[in-house]
Amino acid sequence: MAEVPTQYGIILAAILFSLGVAGILLRRNIFFVLLFVEVMLNAAGLAFVVAGARWGQADGFFVLLFVEVMLNAAGLAFVVAGARWGQADGQVMFIFVLATAAAEVAIGLGLLLRLHHQFKTLNVDEASDLRG
């Protein structure tokens, strides 16, 4: 089927992840911050699928790298990440990332609505003081 070099898939994930990081760093609206968390989680999922689409055993370098990307983005699936890197495993990881994203967006949007209710703004800096 596809004859895409592995690095290109990973580089795409890295670029998307970095764009998500840049977005979080330079937007102050909590709505945009949540949106970029979604972008980053999506990039982490892409890295997993690329890893799973590769034939044969992945070497330790790539496995560590994927664990790194995932730890940055999701954080749940690392329990099983070290196990095996066969064919379907990448997609399984993506499903876990998806579940994490769903849980994250529920909490995040709940927090967003509370912030708007409390401070009448979406500026994340307003929430710097917890009980100030």
- Judged by CB under 8 A, does residue 102 bind other proteins? yes
Residues 6 or more apart whose CB falls under 8 angstroms from that of 73 comprise 17, 40, 41, 43, 44, 97
Query: Least distance (Å) from other proteins to the CB of residue 32?
Result: 7
- Is position 127 an interface residue for other proteins (rule: CB under 8 A)? no
Question: Is 71 an interacting residue with respect to other proteins (CB under 8 A)?
Answer: no
Q: Between 15 and 71, whose beta carbon lies closer to other proteins?
A: 15
3-state secondary structure of 102: helix
Closest contact distance (angstroms) between CB of 128 and other proteins is 15
The Cα–Cα gap between 14 and 10 comes to 6
Q: Does 50 bind other proteins (CB under 8 A)?
A: yes
CA–CA gap between residue 5 and residue 43 (Å, rounded): 17
Binding flag, residue 39, other proteins (CB under 8 A): yes
